Amino acid sequence: MKLELGKIMIDDIRYGDITEVKDKVLYVNNDELTSIVLEDERIKSAKIELARPGESVRITPVKDVLQPRVKVSGHGTNFPGVIGNKVKQVGKGRTHVLENTAVVTVGKIMGFQEGIIDMSGIGSEYTPFSKTLNVCLVLEPIDNIEPHAYETAAREAGLKVTNYIGETARNLSPDTLETFETKGFIDQANQYPDLPKVGYVCMLQSQGLLHDTYVYGVDAKNIIPTIMSPTEFMDGAVISGNCVASCDKIPTYLHQNDPIIEDLYKKHGKELNFMGVIITNENVFLADKERCSDAVAKLAKMMCLDGVIISEEGYGNPDTDLMMNCKKVEQEGIRTVLITDEFPGRDGKSESLADAVKEADALVSCGQGNLVITMPPMDKVIGTLEDIETMIGGYDGSLKADGSIEAEIQIIISATSAFGCNKLSARMY
């Protein structure tokens, strides 16, 4: 599959009479965007707030982050299976991107695992979304709504607004145009026969109870492992729908801009032959873990891979899925590298991972989530601070009288993401 990705560089975001892009500025109209959201009777109110890198702004509780894109040519729509109910395969043709921008959904806490984005200060150093121009969609649900219904409404609102903003890029001329292609297995293997054949196993959070990911609109807990083209991710085929621990969270933006996929493409044809992506889910029950890890190993063998990179979302229970995938793929004679984060406790004396196997002898750490920092007060809060102390990483006394927050970096969105989008790692001594 071949996809052209045209990037339109955006230097600023402002309010405007209409939602449009002009002279590298994204203008957004509050009434246009909120009217789309308020068609859903589960949402009582909505408003648009803007946040730029370096500003004294705190955004919380954050639910999802998405990047505005639009399908210019090829099959399907952005976010297939969700937007317009058009379930057509994507990953081909051309897609335009509003680069440097993001839509951030914000609102009352629905679980306990939404988190924080600080646009400046020490907290901003731990999240990639302090560097994006953020159009924040602040939502208030109707009274007495059940958490799963609220999650669905908030997720769909974010997708609709992101898609609407993305349409502004349809007829623009991209500043840059990149082409990404992954061929069928035989053709791809023959294209670079002397390079190691490498695949990527992307584990999707799917443990339920607000821990879900969607593939072409289908809850990933209902799928079995399958093979996808990397370009399908770029067209929004995989979207976030979970309230997993904030630091681990893989928002939709990161599925659209998966750093592992991007790096594998950069090395494709030079150091390795990138053969494609295997997606699998993270399961609750042992039988499901066995079934899916068996399938991952089978698919990796069928693809004739020499090596795979395996990433996960979340920690604790998913560590077992990670290790099962590692062990079974290695037993097929395929080398693995794991990407994960660690939770050794504040004193660093606990086990960093909940599970381990001897085959896991090559692992990249994205840092440890129990690190405690103090984030200074901000001049403006988009959302509310009322739930800070019940968020994961927070505790009684986290929110200080002056508005500063002392908490574990678990509370910061994507601070230790196993996609490697952060700046943290670890060393062995």
State the catalytic residues.
243
CA-CA-CA-CA torsion sign (129, 131, 132, 137): positive
State the SS3 of the chain: CEEEEEEEECCEEEECCCCEEECCEEEECHHHHHHHHCCCCCEEEEEEEEECCCCCEEEEEEEEEECCEEEEECCCCCCCCCHHHCCCCCCCEEEEEEECEEEEEEECCCCCCCEEEECCCHHHHHCHHHCCEEEEEEEEECCCCCHHHHHHHHHHHHHHHHHHHHHHHCCCCCCEEEEEECCCHHHHHHHCCCCCEEEEEEEECCCCCCCCEEECCEEHHHCCCEEECHHHHHCCCEEECCCCCHHHCCCHHHHHCCHHHHHHHHHECCCEEEEEEEEEECCCCHHHHHHHHHHHHHHHHHCCCCEEEEECCCCCHHHHHHHHHHHHHHHCCCEEEEEEEECCCCCCCCCCCCCCCCCCCCEEEEEECCCEEEECCCCEEEECCCCHHHCECECCCCECCCCCEEEEHHHECCCCCCCCCCCCCCCCC
What is the distance between the alpha carbons of residues 421 and 429, in angstroms, rounded to a whole number?
24
363 vs 310, 336, 342, CA distance in Å? 9, 9, 11
CA torsion 208→297→308→420, rounded to 10°?
10
